[in-house]
Amino acid sequence: MSLVLIHAVVSHRYKLYRKAWEYASVGELYIIIKIVSINILLAVPIHFLLGNGLQIRMLLTTWFIYLVCIGGSRFGWRLWRDNVLLKKGAVKRTLIIGAGAAGRMVARQLLNNPKSDLHPIAFIDDDNKKNKLDILGVPVVGGRESIVRTVEELEIEHIVIAIPSLHQKELNQIFLECGKTKVKTQTLPMLEDLMTGKVSVNHFRDVQVEDLLGRAPIELDIDSISETITDRVVLVTGAGGSIGSEICRQVSSFHPSKLVLLGHGENSIYSIEMELKETFKETNIEFVTEIADIQDGKKMSTIMEKHQPYIVYHAAAHKHVPLMERNPEEAVKNNIIGTKNVALAANWNNVHTFVMISSDKAVNPTSVMGSTKRLAEMIIQDLDKKSTTKFIAVRFGNVLGSRGSVIPRFKKQIMVGGPVTVTHPDMIRYFMTIPEASRLVIQAGSLARGGEIFVLDMGEPVKILDLAKNLIKLSGYSVEDIGIEYSGVRPGEKLFEELLNDNEIQEKQIYPKIHIGKTSQLYMNEIDELLQNLDAYGNEDIRETLLQLANRKAMEEHIEKPKVMLTVTG
List beta partners, residue 399.
432
What Cα–Cα distance (Å) separates residue 135 from each residue in 26, 70, 104, 106? 11, 21, 7, 11
Q: Per residue in 178-216, is it b (16+ CB within 10 Å) or e — as a string?
A: bbebebbbbbbeeeeebeeeebebeebeebbbbbbbebe
What value, to the nearest 5°, has the Cα angle with vertex 256 and ends 253 and 262?
95
Q: Which residues have C-beta within 8 Å of that of residue 471, sequence separation ≥ 6?
A: 209, 407, 410, 411, 414, 420
Question: Is 200 within 8 Å of 218 (Cβ atoms)?
Answer: no
Q: Please check whether residue 104 is in contact with residue 135, taking contact to mean a CB–CB distance below 8 angstroms.
A: yes
Q: Residue 308 in contact with residue 345, Cβ under 8 Å?
A: no
Query: How far is Cα 173 from Cα 127, in angstroms, rounded to an integer?
Result: 16
- CB-CB neighbours of 75 under 10 Å: 16
Contact 490, 555 (CB under 8 A): no
473 is catalytic: no
The one catalytic residue in 340, 361, 390, 553 is 361
CB 513 within 8 A of CB 457: yes
What CA–CA distance (Å, rounded) separates 51 from 44? 11
If phi > 0 it is left, if psi is from -120 to 50 it is alpha, else beta; for residue 424 that is: beta
Q: How far apart are CA 273 and CA 271, in angstroms?
A: 5
Radius of gyration of the chain (CA): 32
Residues in the chain: 570
Q: Tell how strand 92-97 and strand 118-124 pair up.
A: parallel
Q: Are 358 and 437 in contact (CB under 8 A)?
A: no
List, in sequence order, every beta strand (DSSP E) within 66-132. Answer: 92-97, 118-124
Catalytic residue IDs: 361
